[in-house]
Structure 1
Amino acid sequence: MYALGVLSANKTIQESEKERLFTDFDISIYDLENVDIDSLQGIILQKNEQIQIEKLFQWLIKVRESPLKPIWILSNEPLGEEKIIYLKLGVTGFLVESDTFDEIAWTIKNGLHCMTVEKERGFYLDPSSFTVLISDTKLVLTKLEYMLLDYLYTSGNKVRTYEEIAHYLWEKEEVPPKYRVANLIFHIRQKIKTIDIKYADVIKTVRSKGYRLNLPDESIK
């Protein structure tokens, strides 16, 4: 069962819809202003004339301080260029009230499921804040550290050479020296060690070749 917090100035979700979400989609709805955020798996923030934009941003900032969870903005019409602002603040996606109930429900259910699967791995990367969630603890990385870790993560078991990593991180430079890559790897390892020792060797050095990600077996389901 998923717990979904909703910030709304009116009863956006009717009682009959709440019942369907509960019985057909395993989603329970809670008033965001009267529930512990850490107990939720996802959040919907309604954007309309009744909710001031300042309040919306305050909630986005507050939510980012809690364990990672998907956030949707629900509006009565499609948003324009302002979407990019919300995405930079960590919003996962956007819902429009004119969409059918099933479209909205499945969008939420799929998003909650994906987040749950990734968290069960014990290792989750969040591009909106350059953070990695390890064993339920959020670790803040620099932009380059995050890019490197994400590059290895998306490469699966493939070994990435020093040259490939350097080109990915500093593509506008000619050929950055190997020590710059090695230095970044060192700092990432040191940060991760402080979170969970079983992830100490999460970045494996393949001698004379490069690096690959080496997640513990129990973190891969």
Structure 2
Amino acid sequence: MYHIGYVKLSEIEEEYIHSIKKECSVEEINQNISSQQLKTKDGIIIFSKNDEMICAASEVILKIREQSNAFIRIIAPQMNNISKVVFLQLGADGTFDDEQSLDILRLTIINALKRRMVEQQEKPERSNEEPPSFILDNRNQAIKIEGKPTAPLTNLEYRTLQLLADNLGNTVTYEEIYEAIWHQKYTDEKYKIANVMFHIRGKIEEDTSNPVYIKTVRSKGYLLCEV
């Protein structure tokens, strides 16, 4: 049986919970999610009411992603496409609104959890392996891993990666990243930084759920690991 935690940012219809109870044990957790709670969860559902709660939902996604790679789904009866894109960019695995049926909700959650479990079981052990080397190519604003170029980096992505490389093995704080890349005073724009890191990881990590190069340092920032 899968273990699901859910966060209520608004009142919810109990039918959402009942729809997955046959295959999952379900437990309510508060917005101040602890790493201990996340260790026992295969996935997290965030219940929101509408687009007015986008900031609160985004903060919860960031808290989860700082501590875990658990499956995340946002459920909000009223949700526009902009909100959906923001949630996905921050690391949510899917969204659900009142245009979809409960069967779709149940099946997409269960299918995602099944795939995740299979991937974890088949994942090769890396504990005794040296991670592959990488080289930043300043002229072409690109990166090569094991001598092979990855997907092209945008200017913003490359400058962010270069900043982390200049501080190899040391944590670069959210404030330091934001002010160095955007040249503006930092006022807690974690979501912008998380969005850039999301895209960089998608291009350089073999498995974004278990990153080798860029590690999240909880509540502080990011660290590029020595390779």
User: What TM-score do you get using the length of structure 2 for normalisation?
Assistant: 0.50
What is the deviation of 1:100?
1.8
Q: Indicate the residue corresponding to 1:102 in structure 2.
A: 103
Aligned length: 143
1:18-57 map, 5 Å: 18-19=17-18, 21-23=20-22, 26-33=23-30, 36-49=37-50, 52-57=53-58
Taking the aligned partners of 1:143 and 1:29, their CA distance within structure 2 comes to: 45
Q: 1:143 to 1:105 in 2, by over 3 A?
A: farther
1:59-208 map, 5 Å: 59-122=60-123, 165-166=148-149, 168-169=150-151
Q: 1:75 to 1:119 in 2, by over 3 A?
A: same
What is the deviation of 1:76?
0.9
RMSD over aligned CA atoms reads 4.0
Q: 1:78 to 1:55 in 2, by over 3 A?
A: closer
Q: What fraction of aligned residue pairs are identical, expressed as a percent?
A: 19
Q: 1:4 to 1:143 in 2, by over 3 A?
A: farther
Taking the aligned partners of 2:153 and 2:12, their CA distance within structure 1 comes to: 50
Which ranges in structure 2 are unaligned for 5 or more consecutive residues? Answer: 137-142, 155-168, 170-204, 206-210, 213-227
Whether the 8 Å CA contact 2:50–2:76 is kept in 1: the answer is no
The residue type paired with residue 2 of structure 1 is Y
Of structures 1 and 2, the one scoring higher in RCO (CA 8 A, sep 6+) is: 2
The residue type paired with residue 46 of structure 2 is L
Find the residue that maps to 1:40 and give its secondary structure.
coil
CA displacement, residues 107-138 of structure 1 (integer Å, 9 cap, x when unaligned): 11001111111122336xxxxxxxxx967xxx
Which ranges in structure 1 are unaligned for 5 or more consecutive residues? Answer: 124-132, 153-161, 173-186, 193-221
User: What TM-score do you get using the length of structure 1 for normalisation?
Assistant: 0.51
Q: Which one has the largest radius of gyration?
A: 1
Q: 1:84 to 1:21 in 2, by over 3 A?
A: closer
Q: Indicate the residue corresponding to 2:4 in structure 1.
A: 4
